[in-house]
């Protein structure tokens, strides 16, 4: 009998499933979360599998059925119905200042509009307007409400946590973008955000208090 490989350091659900790594089936819990409209926030220390969970949700909402074969959710999920997914991830690199934060968000939004096959004309001068535009256009193009997945929501703040004024400036920049989701319920099916810091400690969610 050949033992399966352990997925040490691997955070991509597709890699674990396609390359036959060990996977502990948690899709019964995902089914409870994802089968209805919801807004969720998960705070856990590093290496607790948050990014892996985001990757799994991404594959689920995109309808990648083959990846879920033999798992709990396989014969329960409606694979005919898919949702456009907007994924925001701040895990890579270090944000040194507000300008770098804006630049990173520009790149993330640009990557998302390309993957969704839509065009945001305001991307170079209006982050909030562009994020709103991507959500609306993704909904209009597909006829399905949008799924928004945000990984390491607080990392840009934590990068500069020892510099209070700078971290506060970065926090306001993130708050400005995250607040977009507050007023767009008619276009959004599901929101899932992860990070290390409990949001009550960060004062970032006054604009999105439905989590």
CATH number at residue 156: 3.40.50
Indicate whether 195 belongs to any domain. yes
- Examine residue 129 and state whether it is found in any structural domain, yes or no: yes
> Does some domain include residue 7?
no
Count of the separate structural domains present in the chain: 1
* Rounded Cα–Cα distance for residues 35 and 99 (Å): 38
When the pLDDT of each residue in the chain is averaged and rounded to a whole number, the result is 86
Nearest alpha-carbon partner for 179 in 165, 194, 191, 166: 191
Question: Strand 188-195 to strand 38-43: parallel, antiparallel, or no bridges (unpaired)?
Answer: parallel
| Mean local confidence (pLDDT), 184-200 | 83
Asked whether residue 122 is domain-assigned, the answer is yes
Domain membership flag for residue 2:
no
pLDDT tens-digit map of 93-107: 788 888 899 889 989
* Residue 153 belongs to a domain: yes
What confidence category does residue 147 fall into, taking pLDDT thresholds of 50, 70 and 90? Answer: very high
Instruction: Calculate mean pLDDT across residues 39-66.
Output: 86
Domain assignment present for residue 194? The answer is yes
Does the residue 112 lie in any domain? yes
Q: Please determine, for residue 170, whether its predicted confidence score (pLDDT) is greater than 60.
A: yes
* Structural domain containing residue 129: 13-202
The pLDDT of 181-195, averaged and rounded, is 90
């Amino acid at each position: 009998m050949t033992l399966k490989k352990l997925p040490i350091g691997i955070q991509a659900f597709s890699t674990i499933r396609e390359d036959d790594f060990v996977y502990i089936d948690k899709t019964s819990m995902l089914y409870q979360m994802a089968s209805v409209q919801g807004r969720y926030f998960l705070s856990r220390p590093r290496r607790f599998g948050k990014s892996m969970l985001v990757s799994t949700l991404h594959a689920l909402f995109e309808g990648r059925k083959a990846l879920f074969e033999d798992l709990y959710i396989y014969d329960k999920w409606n694979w005919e119905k898919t949702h456009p997914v907007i994924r925001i991830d701040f895990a890579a690199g270090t944000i040194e200042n507000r300008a770098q934060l804006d630049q990173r968000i520009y790149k993330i939004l640009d990557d998302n509009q390309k993957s969704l096959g839509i065009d945001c004309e305001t991307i170079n001068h209006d982050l909030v307007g562009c994020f709103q535009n991507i959500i609306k256009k993704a909904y209009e193009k597909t006829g399905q409400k949008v799924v928004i997945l945000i990984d390491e929501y607080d990392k840009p703040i934590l990068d500069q946590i020892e510099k209070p004024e700078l971290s506060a400036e970065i926090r306001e920049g993130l708050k400005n973008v995250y607040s977009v989701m507050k007023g767009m319920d008619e276009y959004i099916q599901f929101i899932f955000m992860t990070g290390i810091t409990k949001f009550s400690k960060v004062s970032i969610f006054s604009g999105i208090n439905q989590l």
